[in-house]
């Protein structure tokens, strides 16, 4: 079962294809490129290169990977300005032109790096994303945000640049380490809360199958998440309003990542905890039914995610929230949720409300 | 006499204001920002900071320039990745947010740097351009192209990012060194050829007044050039077709800059020579009347521009042309001109034609 979604962006359409075997679309696309004298260049990381590198190059019709694939070190440190420069230099050395294609093959880090490089090399090349992690398939490969970390924080540099094509193939998830798979489920539960009954019930009722990575249920879940995100991105590509709802759980999530030191806790795990904080705060200021937080907590546990942790000092978390990229002159950009499927943007929360909400995830 | 033009881009509208005194619009705009808790940050260079820095900060209502203005070294070397990183770090240190404004105050180098930083800091801040050179007022501040130089070449990294506001004030041209002013006239003559009779005749008939920088004639010329560019950019913001006509003279111009070593000859001087090469090639393949090249040569001379030079080796120039950013699988991206106001894109030129055309600027 495969599916196709179109995201109509300002720069043109993104085509998103999902389902087992959609990787094979690279065969025809690679051949079409060659027929026009164009070439595809692949950015990936060392782990993914080992597992899938040769496979993908073969599909693209490339024999010698040497100059057509660049494998960066796996991990967040590769989202650096230094690595961006190395990629630019690589592309100039191999003579990449503005009508060539950059393929991002990997998880969120590779997708962000490849997206930024494609957006900025010669003012923009065509970009294809082949996400290999669950987090990238359900979230980061769609929507066109890319980013590079600076000394002062994560993703402080970046652009909006829609991929031309996204191929989300569940076969690629087979090789994902268990921790990394569960990490992706944090964003999946976020989409369950945003989308509403249909996806949330699916997650509750199929939690076991999901943890077993059954391809049919995974393809269905990815389609739900991407479908939701695509609609929001179409309505507000440049993140001036409605798109902010996608940050549900992220004000707290980012603050936790920052307070614990980036990389200590996976982004999806931090977002999952942030969802519980958002629900607790929403109970106070939006009158959200507390049963939704109980159900969400049970779902997170069923999916193998954290629902509490020894809390870092609250003043550190609050200060990290105020430094978040989302913060503006108007406030923190905190997203609440009134009921399943009903997010509320720009909640105005007092410090005492925030502190009480944070305490619900303290163990 | 002041004028206003709107460029409708993919991301929204750019407002371009020209004429003596339009700088004063910063007063009202600065006050409006402050009223909303937003701030303006200024990127400039050391020369412009000395001449105009305090003046502009005062208009923006900023008392202490220290953290609100960054003056880079004057010259092309500041269009570096290292300088971009310094700007990002400065913005994070002073706590700039995504709803703040970056003002580019300077010539083409500052405009390109400020544009790239504004496009990429927190995925995009509001951008105002206050061009202080003729070249920037007639050309580079409009249209949204920015760029950073890499070791392998000029402008190899960059994005498309329209400024929200451009203020082109002829008063700023008063402090421009003579060489720099004439440099801008190279692009002006290009617009004369592209626009056609009206602007070309104006340039021919008012060459003396132009060299004397008479404010009324300068304001009129800048309006013609910007008006032409705005129409082309609206039709093809991402440079996929029609916008390429703006590269008239640039395939040769860039090759000359590269062969002589960047910075040896001003961009506008190189483009002026490139116009004569484009006209000579067009005579061969488009049947362009040779009188147009004679008139253009006379106009360039009247405006104090070069019309010939001791030619670098032709094979070096030809190889530099094939490495140009504009080159694709399809060709050099060479722009010809059939008659005044009638540019022709993607001319297919044989090497002998190119060589003969290049020889017309050999002294």
User: Is the Cβ pair A124, B81 closer than 8 Å?
Assistant: no
All residues of chain A having their beta carbon less than 8 Å from the beta carbon of residue B160 are: 123-124
Angstroms from A140 CA to nearest CA on chain B: 15
Is A69 strand, coil or helix? strand
Whether the CB-CB separation of B332 and B251 falls below 8 Å is answered with: yes
Cα dist. B76→B79, B128, B206, B265 in Å?
6, 21, 31, 12
pLDDT reported for residue B236: 92
User: Is the Cβ pair B123, A153 closer than 8 Å?
Assistant: no
How many residues are there in chain B? 363
Beta bridge partners of A106: A131
User: Is the Cβ pair B85, A38 closer than 8 Å?
Assistant: no
d(CA B218, CA B222): 6
β-strands A165-168, A126-131 pairing: parallel
Task: Tell me how far apart the terminal alpha carbons of chain A are, to the nearest angstrom.
Answer: 42
pLDDT reported for residue B282: 98
pLDDT band for position A64 (cuts 50, 70, 90): low
Cα dist. B195→A157, B15, B214, B218 in Å?
38, 21, 22, 16
Of B340, B154, B131, B331, the closest CA to residue B244 belongs to B331
Average pLDDT for chain B: 93
d(CA A219, CA B21): 61
Count CB-CB contacts under 10 A for residue A97. Answer: 18
Whether the CB-CB separation of B21 and B170 falls below 8 Å is answered with: no
Query: What string of DSSP letters covers A248-288?
Result: TTHHHHHHHHHHH-TTSS-HHHHHHHHHHHHHHHHHHHH--
Q: How far is CA B166 from the centre of its chain?
A: 13
A36, A81, A92 member nearest B150 (Cβ): A92
Q: For residue range A182-218, what is the model confidence (pLDDT) as tens digits?
A: 999 999 999 999 999 999 999 999 999 999 999 889 9
pLDDT reported for residue A329: 62
Q: For residue range A244-269, what is the model confidence (pLDDT) as tens digits?
A: 999 999 999 999 998 988 778 999 99
| Angle (CA) B56 B57 B58, round 5° | 90
d(CA B130, CA B279): 33
Domain range list for chain A: 3-176, 180-359
User: Is the Cβ pair B158, A122 closer than 8 Å?
Assistant: yes
d(CA A59, CA A29): 9
Count CB-CB contacts under 10 A for residue B275. Answer: 29
User: Is the Cβ pair B150, A85 closer than 8 Å?
Assistant: yes
Q: How far is CA B341 from the centre of its chain?
A: 20
Beta bridge partners of B42: B69, B103
Q: Model-level pTM?
A: 0.91
pLDDT reported for residue B65: 60
Angstroms from B38 CA to nearest CA on chain A: 7
All residues of chain A having their beta carbon less than 8 Å from the beta carbon of residue B158 are: 120, 122-123
Count CB-CB contacts under 10 A for residue B241. Answer: 12
Least confident of A6-10, A106-110, B327-331: B327-331
* Residues 6+ positions from A29 with CB-CB distance below 8 Å: A60, A128, A165
Q: What is the DSSP letter of A119?
A: H
Which fold does the domain A180-359 belong to in CATH? Answer: Dehydroquinate synthase-like, alpha domain (1.20.1090)
pLDDT reported for residue A356: 97
Angstroms from A119 CA to nearest CA on chain B: 7
- Report helix, strand and coil shares of chain A as percent, to nearest 5: 55, 20, 30
Whether the CB-CB separation of B16 and B142 falls below 8 Å is answered with: yes
Tokens representing A224 are: 């739900």
Q: For residue range B115-131, what is the model confidence (pLDDT) as tens digits?
A: 999 999 999 999 999 99
- Assess A35–B contact: CB distance below 8 Å, yes or no: no
Angstroms from A337 CA to nearest CA on chain B: 24
Residue B304, φ and ψ in degrees, nearest 5: 85, 25
Just give the CATH number of A3-176: 3.40.50.1970
- Taking residues A149-178, what's their average pLDDT? 93
pLDDT value at A275 more than 70: yes
Just give the CATH number of B179-359: 1.20.1090.10
Average pLDDT for chain A: 93
User: Is the Cβ pair B37, A327 closer than 8 Å?
Assistant: no
Cα dist. B88→A359, B17, B97, B159, B212 in Å?
35, 28, 12, 16, 40
pLDDT reported for residue A331: 77
d(CA A340, CA A202): 13
User: Is the Cβ pair B157, A88 closer than 8 Å?
Assistant: yes
Is A169 strand, coil or helix? coil
d(CA A170, CA A192): 19
Number of H helices, E strands in chain B: 15, 11
Please give the helix or strand (H or E) that residue A153 lies within, else none. strand A153-157
C-alpha gyration radius of chain A: 20
Is A132 strand, coil or helix? coil
Per CATH, B3-176 and B179-359 having the same topology is answered no
pLDDT reported for residue B352: 96
d(CA A196, CA A181): 23
Please give the helix or strand (H or E) that residue B191 lies within, else none. helix B178-195
* Residues 6+ positions from B205 with CB-CB distance below 8 Å: none
pLDDT value at A328 more than 70: no
User: Is the Cβ pair A151, B89 closer than 8 Å?
Assistant: yes
Angstroms from B85 CA to nearest CA on chain A: 8
All residues of chain A having their beta carbon less than 8 Å from the beta carbon of residue B10 are: 10-11
Ranges under pLDDT 50 in chain B: none
The dihedral through the CA atoms of B27, B33, B38, B42 has a sign that is negative
Count CB-CB contacts under 10 A for residue B300. Answer: 23
All residues of chain B having their beta carbon less than 8 Å from the beta carbon of residue A122 are: 156-158, 325
Task: Tell me how far apart the terminal alpha carbons of chain B are, to the nearest angstrom.
Answer: 42
d(CA B208, CA A138): 64
Count CB-CB contacts under 10 A for residue B20. Answer: 16
A vs B, Cβ pairs < 8 A, gives 95
């Amino acid at each position: 079962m495969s599916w196709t979604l179109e995201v109509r962006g300002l720069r043109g359409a993104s085509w998103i294809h999902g389902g087992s075997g959609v990787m094979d679309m690279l065969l025809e696309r690679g051949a079409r490129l060659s027929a026009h004298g164009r070439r595809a260049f692949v950015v990936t990381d060392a782990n993914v290169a080992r597992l899938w590198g040769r496979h993908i190059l073969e599909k693209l019709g490339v024999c010698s990977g040497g100059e057509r694939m660049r494998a960066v070190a796996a991990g967040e440190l590769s989202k650096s300005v230094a690595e961006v420069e190395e990629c630019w230099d690589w592309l100039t050395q191999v003579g990449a032109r503005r009508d060539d294609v950059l393929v991002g093959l990997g998880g969120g880090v590779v997708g962000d790096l490849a997206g930024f490089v494609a957006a900025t090399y010669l003012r923009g090349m065509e970009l294809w994303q082949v996400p290999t992690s669950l987090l990238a398939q359900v979230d980061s490969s769609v929507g066109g945000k890319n980013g590079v970390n600076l000394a002062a924080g994560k993703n402080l540099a970046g652009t909006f640049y829609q991929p031309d094509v996204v191929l989300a193939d569940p076969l690629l998830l087979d090789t994902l380490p268990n921790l990394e798979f569960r990490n992706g489920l944090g964003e999946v539960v976020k989409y369950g809360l945003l989308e509403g009954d249909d996806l949330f019930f699916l997650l509750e009722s199929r939690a076991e199958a999901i943890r077993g990575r059954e391809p049919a249920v995974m393809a269905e879940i990815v389609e739900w998440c991407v479908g939701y995100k695509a609609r929001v991105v179409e309505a507000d590509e440049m993140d001036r309003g409605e798109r902010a709802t996608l940050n549900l759980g992220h004000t707290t999530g980012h603050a936790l990542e920052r307070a614990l030191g980036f990389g200590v806790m996976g982004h999806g795990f931090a977002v999952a905890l942030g969802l519980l904080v958002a629900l607790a705060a929403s109970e106070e200021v939006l009158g959200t039914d507390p049963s939704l937080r109980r159900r969400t907590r049970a779902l997170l546990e069923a999916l193998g995610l954290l629902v509490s942790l020894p809390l870092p000092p609250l003043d550190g978390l609050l200060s990290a929230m105020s430094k978040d990229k989302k913060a503006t002159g108007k406030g923190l950009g905190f997203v609440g949720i009134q009921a399943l499927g009903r997010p509320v943007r720009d909640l105005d929360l007092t410090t005492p409300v925030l502190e009480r909400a944070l305490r619900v995830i303290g163990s």
